[in-house]
Amino acid sequence: SLFRLKDLEVAELGDSDVHVKMLAAPINPADINMIQGTYAILSPLPAVGGNEGVGEVLEVGRRVAALKPGDWVIPAGAGVGTWRTRGVFPEETLLKVPSDIPVLCAATLSVNPCTAYRMLTDFESLAPGDSVIQNAANSGVGQAVIQIAKASGIKTINVVRDRPDLPKLVERLMALGADHVVTEEMLRKPEMKDIFKSIPKPRLALNCVGGKSTTEMLRHLQPKGTVVTYGGMAKQPVMVPVSAFIFRDLRLRGFWMTQWRKDHAQDQESLASMMDALCQLIRRGQLAAPACTEVPLQDYKAALEASMKPFTSSKQILLL
Protein backbone atom coordinates (compact mmCIF):
# COMPACT_ATOMS: atom_id res chain seq x y z
CA SER A 1 0.00 0.00 0.00
CA LEU A 2 1.09 3.58 -0.66
CA PHE A 3 -0.15 4.61 2.77
CA ARG A 4 1.15 4.57 6.29
CA LEU A 5 -0.16 6.17 9.44
CA LYS A 6 2.75 8.04 11.03
CA ASP A 7 3.32 10.11 14.15
CA LEU A 8 5.09 13.36 13.32
CA GLU A 9 6.13 16.36 15.37
CA VAL A 10 3.88 19.38 14.82
CA ALA A 11 5.92 22.10 13.09
CA GLU A 12 6.96 25.32 14.84
CA LEU A 13 4.32 28.06 14.71
CA GLY A 14 5.62 30.90 12.51
CA ASP A 15 4.39 34.49 12.73
CA SER A 16 1.90 34.03 9.89
CA ASP A 17 0.99 30.42 10.70
CA VAL A 18 -2.09 28.80 12.19
CA HIS A 19 -2.05 25.64 14.31
CA VAL A 20 -5.14 23.61 13.43
CA LYS A 21 -6.73 20.58 15.05
CA MET A 22 -8.38 18.71 12.16
CA LEU A 23 -11.94 17.53 12.88
CA ALA A 24 -13.04 15.63 9.75
CA ALA A 25 -11.77 15.07 6.21
CA PRO A 26 -13.42 13.22 3.31
CA ILE A 27 -11.88 10.85 0.77
CA ASN A 28 -12.69 12.19 -2.72
CA PRO A 29 -11.92 10.59 -6.11
CA ALA A 30 -9.43 13.39 -6.85
CA ASP A 31 -7.51 12.52 -3.66
CA ILE A 32 -7.09 8.95 -4.92
CA ASN A 33 -6.09 10.18 -8.40
CA MET A 34 -3.46 12.46 -6.86
CA ILE A 35 -1.99 9.54 -4.96
CA GLN A 36 -1.99 7.37 -8.09
CA GLY A 37 -0.22 10.18 -9.95
CA THR A 38 -3.00 10.49 -12.55
CA TYR A 39 -4.07 14.00 -11.51
CA ALA A 40 -2.82 17.38 -12.73
CA ILE A 41 -1.23 18.09 -9.34
CA LEU A 42 1.73 16.05 -8.09
CA SER A 43 2.71 16.42 -4.43
CA PRO A 44 6.39 16.06 -3.61
CA LEU A 45 6.72 12.88 -1.52
CA PRO A 46 6.45 12.02 1.30
CA ALA A 47 3.11 13.82 1.41
CA VAL A 48 -0.04 13.89 3.52
CA GLY A 49 -3.16 12.92 1.54
CA GLY A 50 -6.46 14.75 1.42
CA ASN A 51 -7.48 18.03 -0.21
CA GLU A 52 -10.52 18.83 1.85
CA GLY A 53 -11.67 18.89 5.46
CA VAL A 54 -12.48 21.12 8.40
CA GLY A 55 -10.41 21.94 11.44
CA GLU A 56 -10.51 24.11 14.55
CA VAL A 57 -7.90 26.79 15.15
CA LEU A 58 -5.85 26.07 18.30
CA GLU A 59 -3.39 28.98 18.16
CA VAL A 60 -2.23 31.64 15.72
CA GLY A 61 1.07 33.35 14.98
CA ARG A 62 1.46 36.96 16.08
CA ARG A 63 0.88 38.40 12.60
CA VAL A 64 -2.38 36.52 12.03
CA ALA A 65 -5.29 38.95 12.23
CA ALA A 66 -8.26 37.26 10.53
CA LEU A 67 -8.32 34.05 12.58
CA LYS A 68 -8.45 33.30 16.30
CA PRO A 69 -8.52 30.14 18.46
CA GLY A 70 -11.89 28.37 18.23
CA ASP A 71 -12.54 29.44 14.61
CA TRP A 72 -13.31 26.75 12.05
CA VAL A 73 -11.22 26.65 8.89
CA ILE A 74 -11.16 24.75 5.59
CA PRO A 75 -8.36 24.65 2.98
CA ALA A 76 -8.34 27.58 0.53
CA GLY A 77 -6.79 25.42 -2.21
CA ALA A 78 -5.75 21.87 -3.08
CA GLY A 79 -2.76 19.95 -1.81
CA VAL A 80 -2.57 20.99 1.86
CA GLY A 81 -2.92 17.40 3.15
CA THR A 82 -5.96 17.15 5.41
CA TRP A 83 -5.68 13.51 6.49
CA ARG A 84 -3.95 14.33 9.77
CA THR A 85 -4.96 15.12 13.33
CA ARG A 86 -3.04 18.40 13.54
CA GLY A 87 -1.19 20.71 11.24
CA VAL A 88 0.49 24.09 11.06
CA PHE A 89 -0.55 25.97 7.91
CA PRO A 90 0.23 29.46 6.56
CA GLU A 91 -2.77 31.74 7.16
CA GLU A 92 -3.36 32.35 3.43
CA THR A 93 -3.93 28.61 2.81
CA LEU A 94 -7.03 28.63 5.06
CA LEU A 95 -10.58 29.98 4.81
CA LYS A 96 -12.70 30.72 7.83
CA VAL A 97 -16.13 29.04 7.87
CA PRO A 98 -18.97 29.54 10.35
CA SER A 99 -18.90 27.03 13.19
CA ASP A 100 -22.70 26.93 13.41
CA ILE A 101 -23.02 24.60 10.40
CA PRO A 102 -22.84 20.80 10.80
CA VAL A 103 -19.27 19.47 10.88
CA LEU A 104 -19.85 17.12 7.92
CA CYS A 105 -21.19 20.03 5.83
CA ALA A 106 -18.07 22.06 6.63
CA ALA A 107 -15.77 19.09 5.93
CA THR A 108 -17.29 18.58 2.47
CA LEU A 109 -17.80 22.25 1.54
CA SER A 110 -14.70 23.31 -0.36
CA VAL A 111 -14.77 20.88 -3.31
CA ASN A 112 -18.14 19.44 -4.35
CA PRO A 113 -20.65 22.19 -3.43
CA CYS A 114 -18.28 24.87 -4.80
CA THR A 115 -17.92 22.91 -8.06
CA ALA A 116 -21.70 22.52 -8.32
CA TYR A 117 -22.29 26.21 -7.54
CA ARG A 118 -19.81 27.47 -10.14
CA MET A 119 -21.02 25.15 -12.90
CA LEU A 120 -24.64 26.24 -12.34
CA THR A 121 -23.58 29.91 -12.34
CA ASP A 122 -20.72 30.44 -14.77
CA PHE A 123 -21.72 28.84 -18.07
CA GLU A 124 -25.39 29.56 -18.79
CA SER A 125 -27.56 32.22 -17.17
CA LEU A 126 -30.28 29.97 -15.83
CA ALA A 127 -33.62 31.32 -14.63
CA PRO A 128 -36.26 29.64 -12.44
CA GLY A 129 -38.07 27.03 -14.56
CA ASP A 130 -35.00 26.26 -16.71
CA SER A 131 -33.55 22.77 -16.57
CA VAL A 132 -30.16 21.08 -16.25
CA ILE A 133 -29.17 17.49 -17.05
CA GLN A 134 -26.29 15.70 -15.28
CA ASN A 135 -24.73 12.24 -15.14
CA ALA A 136 -23.31 10.52 -12.03
CA ALA A 137 -26.10 12.37 -10.24
CA ASN A 138 -25.51 10.42 -7.02
CA SER A 139 -21.91 11.71 -6.71
CA GLY A 140 -21.02 14.40 -4.18
CA VAL A 141 -21.18 17.10 -6.87
CA GLY A 142 -24.39 15.57 -8.27
CA GLN A 143 -26.13 15.72 -4.90
CA ALA A 144 -25.04 19.35 -4.46
CA VAL A 145 -26.25 20.28 -7.98
CA ILE A 146 -29.71 18.84 -7.19
CA GLN A 147 -30.04 20.86 -3.99
CA ILE A 148 -28.56 24.17 -5.22
CA ALA A 149 -30.68 23.99 -8.40
CA LYS A 150 -33.81 23.21 -6.38
CA ALA A 151 -33.19 26.22 -4.12
CA SER A 152 -32.96 28.42 -7.25
CA GLY A 153 -36.09 26.98 -8.89
CA ILE A 154 -34.08 25.16 -11.59
CA LYS A 155 -35.29 21.69 -12.64
CA THR A 156 -32.85 18.76 -12.72
CA ILE A 157 -32.78 15.63 -14.88
CA ASN A 158 -30.46 13.23 -13.12
CA VAL A 159 -28.77 10.30 -14.84
CA VAL A 160 -27.47 7.34 -12.81
CA ARG A 161 -26.18 3.90 -13.70
CA ASP A 162 -28.61 1.04 -13.35
CA ARG A 163 -27.92 -0.94 -10.14
CA PRO A 164 -29.49 -3.53 -7.86
CA ASP A 165 -30.88 -0.97 -5.36
CA LEU A 166 -32.04 1.55 -7.99
CA PRO A 167 -35.46 2.34 -6.41
CA LYS A 168 -33.72 3.22 -3.13
CA LEU A 169 -31.30 5.57 -4.90
CA VAL A 170 -34.09 7.20 -6.93
CA GLU A 171 -36.04 7.80 -3.71
CA ARG A 172 -32.99 9.36 -2.04
CA LEU A 173 -32.30 11.73 -4.95
CA MET A 174 -35.97 12.70 -5.18
CA ALA A 175 -35.92 13.47 -1.46
CA LEU A 176 -32.99 15.86 -2.12
CA GLY A 177 -35.16 17.66 -4.68
CA ALA A 178 -34.43 15.88 -7.98
CA ASP A 179 -37.20 16.43 -10.53
CA HIS A 180 -36.39 13.36 -12.65
CA VAL A 181 -34.03 10.43 -12.13
CA VAL A 182 -33.29 8.26 -15.17
CA THR A 183 -30.81 5.50 -15.97
CA GLU A 184 -28.28 5.70 -18.81
CA GLU A 185 -30.48 3.22 -20.74
CA MET A 186 -33.61 5.34 -20.35
CA LEU A 187 -31.85 8.30 -22.01
CA ARG A 188 -32.23 6.41 -25.30
CA LYS A 189 -35.91 5.55 -24.90
CA PRO A 190 -38.81 7.43 -26.52
CA GLU A 191 -40.32 7.92 -23.03
CA MET A 192 -37.78 10.73 -22.51
CA LYS A 193 -40.21 12.84 -24.56
CA ASP A 194 -42.70 12.61 -21.68
CA ILE A 195 -40.30 14.41 -19.36
CA PHE A 196 -40.13 17.38 -21.74
CA LYS A 197 -43.89 17.80 -21.72
CA SER A 198 -43.62 19.30 -18.24
CA ILE A 199 -40.17 20.93 -18.29
CA PRO A 200 -38.10 22.62 -21.01
CA LYS A 201 -35.14 20.86 -22.61
CA PRO A 202 -31.94 21.62 -20.70
CA ARG A 203 -29.56 24.39 -21.75
CA LEU A 204 -26.79 22.94 -19.57
CA ALA A 205 -25.38 19.41 -19.23
CA LEU A 206 -22.86 18.51 -16.51
CA ASN A 207 -20.60 15.58 -17.32
CA CYS A 208 -18.19 13.72 -15.06
CA VAL A 209 -18.39 10.36 -16.83
CA GLY A 210 -17.49 10.69 -20.52
CA GLY A 211 -17.99 8.09 -23.24
CA LYS A 212 -21.49 7.02 -24.26
CA SER A 213 -23.09 8.65 -21.23
CA THR A 214 -22.15 12.13 -22.47
CA THR A 215 -23.21 11.47 -26.07
CA GLU A 216 -26.64 10.34 -24.84
CA MET A 217 -27.08 13.45 -22.65
CA LEU A 218 -26.15 15.74 -25.57
CA ARG A 219 -29.14 14.58 -27.58
CA HIS A 220 -31.54 16.19 -25.14
CA LEU A 221 -29.86 19.61 -24.98
CA GLN A 222 -31.40 22.74 -26.49
CA PRO A 223 -29.64 24.27 -29.50
CA LYS A 224 -26.66 26.39 -28.38
CA GLY A 225 -26.65 24.49 -25.08
CA THR A 226 -23.42 23.90 -23.13
CA VAL A 227 -21.84 20.67 -21.95
CA VAL A 228 -19.45 21.20 -19.03
CA THR A 229 -17.04 18.34 -18.34
CA TYR A 230 -15.55 18.21 -14.84
CA GLY A 231 -14.55 14.54 -14.57
CA GLY A 232 -14.08 11.39 -16.59
CA MET A 233 -15.04 8.41 -14.50
CA ALA A 234 -15.57 6.14 -17.53
CA LYS A 235 -11.99 6.95 -18.64
CA GLN A 236 -13.38 7.37 -22.17
CA PRO A 237 -13.31 10.49 -24.37
CA VAL A 238 -16.32 12.71 -24.92
CA MET A 239 -17.81 11.75 -28.30
CA VAL A 240 -19.90 14.36 -30.09
CA PRO A 241 -21.71 13.81 -33.41
CA VAL A 242 -20.69 16.40 -36.01
CA SER A 243 -24.38 17.29 -36.50
CA ALA A 244 -24.57 18.45 -32.88
CA PHE A 245 -21.93 21.07 -33.67
CA ILE A 246 -23.19 22.15 -37.09
CA PHE A 247 -26.96 22.08 -36.71
CA ARG A 248 -27.29 22.70 -32.97
CA ASP A 249 -24.13 24.72 -32.26
CA LEU A 250 -23.52 22.98 -28.95
CA ARG A 251 -20.67 24.30 -26.80
CA LEU A 252 -18.20 22.03 -25.00
CA ARG A 253 -16.47 23.50 -21.97
CA GLY A 254 -14.44 22.21 -19.06
CA PHE A 255 -14.33 23.06 -15.37
CA TRP A 256 -11.74 22.44 -12.66
CA MET A 257 -12.32 23.99 -9.22
CA THR A 258 -8.57 24.22 -8.51
CA GLN A 259 -8.12 26.37 -11.63
CA TRP A 260 -11.07 28.59 -10.71
CA ARG A 261 -9.45 29.27 -7.34
CA LYS A 262 -6.15 30.14 -9.02
CA ASP A 263 -7.88 32.46 -11.50
CA HIS A 264 -9.75 34.21 -8.68
CA ALA A 265 -6.92 34.39 -6.15
CA GLN A 266 -7.03 38.22 -6.25
CA ASP A 267 -10.83 38.32 -6.29
CA GLN A 268 -11.81 37.74 -2.67
CA GLU A 269 -15.30 39.08 -3.39
CA SER A 270 -16.42 36.25 -5.68
CA LEU A 271 -15.03 33.62 -3.29
CA ALA A 272 -16.71 35.24 -0.27
CA SER A 273 -20.08 35.57 -2.01
CA MET A 274 -20.01 31.90 -3.07
CA MET A 275 -19.08 30.65 0.43
CA ASP A 276 -21.76 32.93 1.87
CA ALA A 277 -24.44 31.64 -0.48
CA LEU A 278 -23.51 28.01 0.28
CA CYS A 279 -23.47 28.53 4.06
CA GLN A 280 -26.88 30.24 3.83
CA LEU A 281 -28.29 27.22 1.99
CA ILE A 282 -26.80 24.90 4.63
CA ARG A 283 -28.30 26.95 7.47
CA ARG A 284 -31.72 26.94 5.79
CA GLY A 285 -31.57 23.16 5.44
CA GLN A 286 -31.48 23.42 1.63
CA LEU A 287 -28.00 21.93 1.26
CA ALA A 288 -27.06 18.83 3.27
CA ALA A 289 -23.74 16.99 3.38
CA PRO A 290 -23.65 14.06 0.95
CA ALA A 291 -24.48 10.64 2.38
CA CYS A 292 -21.43 9.96 4.57
CA THR A 293 -19.83 7.05 6.39
CA GLU A 294 -17.74 8.26 9.32
CA VAL A 295 -14.50 6.32 9.87
CA PRO A 296 -11.89 6.81 12.61
CA LEU A 297 -8.43 7.66 11.20
CA GLN A 298 -6.89 4.36 12.31
CA ASP A 299 -9.34 2.51 10.02
CA TYR A 300 -8.14 4.51 7.00
CA LYS A 301 -7.33 1.34 5.00
CA ALA A 302 -10.96 0.17 5.10
CA ALA A 303 -12.12 3.70 4.22
CA LEU A 304 -9.83 3.90 1.19
CA GLU A 305 -11.01 0.50 -0.04
CA ALA A 306 -14.66 1.44 0.45
CA SER A 307 -14.16 4.72 -1.43
CA MET A 308 -12.96 2.83 -4.52
CA LYS A 309 -15.85 0.33 -4.68
CA PRO A 310 -18.27 0.75 -7.60
CA PHE A 311 -21.80 2.07 -6.99
CA THR A 312 -20.94 3.57 -3.60
CA SER A 313 -23.41 6.27 -2.73
CA SER A 314 -21.71 7.13 0.54
CA LYS A 315 -18.65 9.33 1.00
CA GLN A 316 -16.02 8.05 3.43
CA ILE A 317 -15.17 10.72 6.02
CA LEU A 318 -12.13 10.34 8.25
CA LEU A 319 -12.82 11.50 11.81
CA LEU A 320 -9.65 13.02 13.19
**Tens digits of per-residue pLDDT, 205-248?**
999 999 999 999 999 999 999 999 999 888 899 999 999 999 99
Provide the whole-model pTM. Answer: 0.92
Active site residues: 39
8 A C-beta contact, residue 77 and residue 93: yes
Q: Crossing angle, helix 140-151 and helix 166-176, to 10 degrees?
A: 40
CATH of domain 17-108+289-319: 3.90.180.10
Q: How far apart are the C-alpha atoms of 285 and 108, rounded to whole Å?
A: 15
pLDDT digits (tens, 9 = 90+) for 26-69: 998 888 888 887 777 777 778 888 999 999 999 999 999 999 99
Pick the CATH number of 111-257 from 3.10.580.10, 3.40.50.1950, 3.40.50.720, 3.40.718.10: 3.40.50.720
What pLDDT, on the 0 to 100 scale, is given for residue 104? 95
How many residues in total does the chain contain?
Answer: 320
Q: How far apart are the C-alpha atoms of 23 and 58, rounded to whole Å?
A: 12
8 A C-beta contact, residue 250 and residue 221: yes
Would you place residue 313 in the very low, low, confident or very high pLDDT band (cuts 50, 70, 90)?
A: low
Sign of the C-alpha dihedral, residues 174, 176, 179, 180? negative
Report which residue type is found at 307: S
CA 38 to chain centre: 18
Q: What is the mean pLDDT of residues 102-115?
A: 95
Beta strands in the chain (DSSP E): 17-26, 54-60, 72-75, 86-90, 94-97, 131-134, 155-160, 180-183, 204-207, 210-211, 226-229, 236-238, 251-254, 292-296, 315-319
- List, in sequence order, the alpha helices (H) in 152-267: 166-176, 192-198, 212-218, 242-246, 257-263
Q: Say whether pLDDT at 311 is over 80.
A: no
Domain ranges of the chain: 17-108+289-319, 111-257
CB-CB neighbours of 186 under 10 Å:
16
Cβ partners under 8 Å of residue 305, min gap 6: none
Beta bridge partners of 87: 20
Task: Kindly state the greatest CA–CA separation across the chain.
Answer: 66
